[in-house]
Structure 1
Amino acid sequence: MKKYQVVGIGNAIVDILSHAEDSFLKDAGIEKGIMQLIDMDRAVDLYSKVGPAREISGGSAANTIAGIAQLGGRTAYVGKVKDDQLGAIFAHDLRAQGADYDTVLAPKSDPQETGRSIIVVTPDGERSMNTYLGVTEHLKVSDIIDAQMQDAEWIYLEGYRFDGPESHDAFAKAINACKGAGGKVSLTLSDPFCVERHRDAFRTMIQDHVNLLFCNRAELMAMYQGLDFEDALAKAASEVDILACTDSENGAHILSGDQRWHVPAYPTTVVDATGAGDLFASAFLWGIANNYDLEVCGQMGCISAAEVISHIGARSEANLKDLFQKQGIAV
């Protein structure tokens, strides 16, 4: 048995969550519903304009790893923070969930700071993310430890992490170490604009290395341009062993070989859509690592997504296993 069921690699970010009306987005020059990369000056300016806010450890893959840990999975995370206040918050929160986190801190002397995402949540629950990457952009090849990747059943790669000077090489090192030791690779496309920036690199990785692809409808359509949704699903499924595509209130589509399942969404009141895809992936990966059928993995994913969007923050507040059991899933 390997030490880890899943090791995630991504942007180590602290989320700064605030509520505002749509008019605020227009006045502040924020494009609704997407992740925009910003610099330090823009981060400071936006922070001064938003209303009361909560600081919560985030980052897409880190949220997924935290969810797996909360479910009792054996898991670890790789992502860069600085030896500063936000960096300490990030590390503490992740370790408190039960995940291993040992990435070397950027020193206090580094001119950049720990990354943060200023997330403005509008009344419809949609989140608009304004992300300053800071030191997490500079995750190095040397931060990828071969032994850790070799000791993982799965690695989980965050598409957002492709924005960085050594990112592609770092991912390649992780993939080679994991697959060389018999492990498997999962990838989340993260965001349609992320796909636009890295489509060719993503496509090569998907075709050559990815066993399990996570995406939502918009990301899938951005990746497979010119195809309608059904054809895009079929094309993606032909390139990976398993495709898990979420579709908002329409649930999720799971495809593997010639099999396909549609899993309905679970009813909930949307308070903050942040983390829906992250928590779907956490339950899905936990399910695969514990030998559940793919349809059940999708059901657990949709239950987890429904839980996380029912409150502020991108990490679950309820016991997910209890929620699974209430829906008739034996865990």
Structure 2
Amino acid sequence: MTNAAPSNSDGPTLDLLGIGNAIVDVLARAEDGFLAAQSMTKGSMALIDTAAAERIYAAMGPGVEGSGGSGANTCAVAAALGARVGFLGKVAADELGKVFAHDIRAAGVRFPTAPLSGGAPTARCLILVTPDGQRTMNTFLGACVAFGPDDVDEAEVASAAVTYLEGYLFDPPEAKAAFFKASRAAHAAGRKIALTLSDPFCVGRHRAAFQEFVRNETDILFANESEILSLYETDDLDTAVARVRQEVSLAAITRSEHGSLVVAGAEQWQVAAVPTQVVDTTGAGDAYAAGFLAALAQGKALAECGRWGSVAAAEAISHFGARPQADLKALVAG
């Protein structure tokens, strides 16, 4: 995998272009009591300010730092599975920004976005992992909020078979405009837009906007069960599936140990979860999307795409941290 610029040929030169928050993750183990003392909702993602970031970081136990962000994790896992991948996301011209850029390029992902100069510092996500493997995330968005339409390179989007949009990025208003610009560029080039809903609380904050974007712009939707129920304001999965079937051509709904449901038109497939020892659920959904899209790029049947997603997700949750530590190509072949 090289980071060469895409060519102008008619066929896609990238299988996948991710657009998302460029974040440096800091992972540490924590007990439930620590979450309660910090007034955190277990298993959720909260946006925090600079003061909260400093307070939580000071109180956390020893951490492991590395480049992260939901969409960037998907891109790194897809590259590990042999896909041709790029990523657009905003870091600052600071040390953490350099760490992020180096890490994602080392994972085989093209990363052309210019860093932010003179603004907020590079984003970081403070992730607390409890003994049951649940992750609770506290995100300081920093430079990420500066990502806007000007950062969407239409040539990059046109070069990718699928542009994958991270729902977390929907929080800043400029990013919504960037999503629509990316969608227009992708569809004008005959390419696909994939969206991951990212988090039920994120969906709740922007439900009407998400509903519009899913209905009018999205070709492939990724969501877990709680996210899809939140999107359609129902507590019945069958009702949500019936809605999503009408609105997107392809959807993959992950259901933890119950596997996933792949829906395309009138057809659907139930895909089993891959048994594993759960150590840390960070990045499970990101890895699932990566496996699914990497298989799709190779022309695999949709049920097989779901299996690749399950394999990648199982690998992600079997160790501390979101990036793959095993040979994913060997795992999906097995």
TM-score norm. by structure 1 comes to 0.97
Matching residue's letter, 1:320 = L
Match among 80, 84, 90 for residue 74 of structure 1: 84
Q: Deviations over 1:39-62 (max 9, x none)?
A: 011000000000010001110000
Q: For the Cα contact (< 8 Å) 1:138–1:165, is it kept in 2?
A: no
User: Which shifted more, 308-317 or 219-228?
Assistant: 219-228
Q: Deviations over 1:49-97 (max 9, x none)?
A: 0001000111000000111111121110000001111111111110001
Matching residue's letter, 2:156 = Q
How much identity, in percent, do the aligned residues show?
46
Equivalent position of 2:208 in the other structure:
200
Provide the aligned length of Structure 1 versus Structure 2: 324
Equivalent position of 1:62 in the other structure:
72
Alignment of 1:222-241 (within 5 A): 222-241=230-249
For 1:59 and 1:67, the matched residues in 2 are separated by: 12
Match among 9, 16, 35 for residue 25 of structure 1: 35
Equivalent position of 1:15 in the other structure:
25
User: Structure 1 residue 41 and structure 2 residue 46: aligned?
Assistant: no
For 2:232 and 2:33, the matched residues in 1 are separated by: 33
Q: Deviations over 1:7-33 (max 9, x none)?
A: 010011111000011001001111100
Structure 1: 5+ residue runs without aligned partners? 327-331
Q: Deviations over 1:173-198 (max 9, x none)?
A: 11111110000110000000000011
For 1:20 and 1:165, the matched residues in 2 are separated by: 33
- Structure 1 residue 165, shift from structure 2 partner: 2.9
Equivalent position of 2:185 in the other structure:
177
RMSD value over aligned CA atoms? 0.8
For 2:114 and 2:278, the matched residues in 1 are separated by: 37
Matching residue's letter, 1:73 = A
- Structure 1 residue 245, shift from structure 2 partner: 0.2
Structure 2: 5+ residue runs without aligned partners? 1-10
For 1:250 and 1:284, the matched residues in 2 are separated by: 17
Matching residue's letter, 2:87 = Y
For 2:141 and 2:234, the matched residues in 1 are separated by: 32
Match among 209, 214, 219 for residue 217 of structure 2: 209
- Structure 1 residue 130, shift from structure 2 partner: 0.3
For 1:145 and 1:182, the matched residues in 2 are separated by: 16
Match among 284, 294, 302 for residue 276 of structure 1: 284
Q: For the Cα contact (< 8 Å) 1:78–1:101, is it kept in 2?
A: yes
Please list every run of at least 4 consecutive aligned residues from structure 1 whose deviation after the TM superposition is greater than 6 angstroms.
none
TM-score norm. by structure 2 comes to 0.96
C-alpha distance 227-122 of structure 1, shift in aligned 2 (>3 A): closer
- Structure 1 residue 317, shift from structure 2 partner: 0.7
Match among 142, 164, 169 for residue 156 of structure 1: 164
User: Structure 1 residue 300 and structure 2 residue 326: aligned?
Assistant: no
Q: SS of the counterpart of 2:206? A: helix
Equivalent position of 1:285 in the other structure:
293
Equivalent position of 2:7 in the other structure:
none
Match among 132, 136, 140 for residue 128 of structure 1: 136
Equivalent position of 1:329 in the other structure:
none
Q: For the Cα contact (< 8 Å) 2:161–2:192, is it kept in 1?
A: yes
- Structure 1 residue 226, shift from structure 2 partner: 2.8
Match among 135, 139, 143 for residue 147 of structure 2: 139
User: Which shifted more, 165-174 or 189-198?
Assistant: 165-174
